[in-house]
Amino acid sequence: MIAVVGPTATGKSALAVALARALGGEIVNADASALYRGMDIGTAKPTIAERHGIPHRQLDVLDVTQEASVAAYQRAARTDLQAIAARGLRPILAGGSGLYVRAALDHLDIPPTDPAVRARLDAEANTLGLAALRERLTALDPVAAQRIEPNNARRVIRALEVIELTGRPFSASLPERQHLVPTVMLGLTLPRPDLDDRIETRTRRMWDSGLVAEVEHLLDLGLERGRTARTALGYAQAIAQLRGALTETEAIASTAQATRRFARRQESWFRPDPRILWLPADAPDLLDRALAALAARDALPRGSGSMPDNG
């Protein structure tokens, strides 16, 4: 199996398509925001033309009112990867949502959920403030508190939910760095100034390509009722622009800044993983380098290996 990972705006989708065309493969998406139907411009979802006829799984599988779930994604993505291999093709996972990548590839048991506990913690976050919940998490599980971004209310609440339901630290449920089946992980990297330039260019292109109109349409479909979709990069800022809270210039600048922060978090997630072979995203011979890396790492022949039944 092949995985193409790394920060946003490094060209993961394009490399995955090129590998699929060269090796006879199909692609499974591992970008949480690209799961949503209609969220195309802001997620830089590959267009039909850009897919070059390569099937892409786990794209456009959720309505914007639905909540993305790592557990549901794990089941679906593993099923897709197994089916691709069973057809004698090369499974290629591509995306930058670190936990989704690990859920698809690694030994990871998803902890239980309880809507009542989640609702109570949500209410506490609204009344007491996120800082109070972070203090509670720090006391109960300092490792998890340090790993979760300070303003990520959803992750803080999820950690406290897991601790309450299991009696174990949330950090104990984080994935092990052990693949279910032999996998070659290719990471794309760029010098930070170059990555920041790409993010700036991509963000402006989103607005030029009609992101605001896309968001207007999604609002009619219930985007603001969605727990996860409405917070996606670019979409939250476009909503604020439509509501008059931000000017277009401010919305673009805010999105670029938030995307740069997100890219840093992606780097922090992927960089410590010793299994990833890093390649320069701007190399003119990137595909040749990737194919050489696959050969050097003794990648599985097409169609061999299988994903275990996830039950």
For residue 125 the two structure tokens come to 């976050």
The HSE-up count of residue 158 (CA atoms within 13 Å, CB side) is 16
- Lowest-pLDDT range of 30-44, 68-82, 109-123: 109-123
User: Residue for token digits 């969605």?
Assistant: 226
Give first-to-last CA distance, the chain, whole Å.
Answer: 21
Q: What is the pTM of this model?
A: 0.83
Provide the percentage of residues in the chain whose pLDDT is more than 90: 85
- Decide: 5 and 179 in contact? Cβ < 8 Å: no
Q: Give every CB contact of residue 49 below 8 A, 6+ residues apart in sequence.
A: none
For residue 126 the two structure tokens come to 């609204």
Backbone angles phi and psi of 185, in degrees to 5? -105, 120
Nearest to 79 by CA among 180, 4, 177, 174: 180
For residue 190 the two structure tokens come to 């760029």
pLDDT surpassing 80 at residue 172:
no
CATH superfamily of 2-108+176-296: P-loop containing nucleotide triphosphate hydrolases (3.40.50.300)
Nearest to 219 by CA among 68, 65, 66, 67: 65
What does the pLDDT average to over 195-221?
A: 98
d(CA 16, CA 141): 37
pLDDT of the residue at 309: 40
Domain boundaries, the chain: 2-108+176-296, 115-173
CATH topology of domain 115-173: Histone, subunit A (1.10.20)
d(CA 303, CA 84): 8
Provide the percentage of residues in the chain whose pLDDT is more than 70: 95
Q: Give CA angle at 182 (178, 185), nearest 5°.
A: 80
pLDDT surpassing 70 at residue 112:
yes
Packing angle, helices 192-208 and 211-220, rounded to 10:
60
Packing angle, helices 248-270 and 192-208, rounded to 10:
140
For residue 101 the two structure tokens come to 């990548």
- Lowest-pLDDT range of 99-103, 105-109, 271-275, 279-283: 105-109
Scanning 151-234, the segments in alpha helix (DSSP H) are: 153-166, 192-208, 211-220
Query: Collapsing DSSP states into helix, strand and coil, what is residue 250?
Result: helix
What does the pLDDT average to over 194-222?
A: 98
Nearest to 286 by CA among 91, 46, 1, 10: 10
pLDDT band at residue 59, thresholds of 50, 70 and 90?
very high
For residue 87 the two structure tokens come to 């057809």
d(CA 136, CA 140): 6
pLDDT surpassing 50 at residue 311:
no
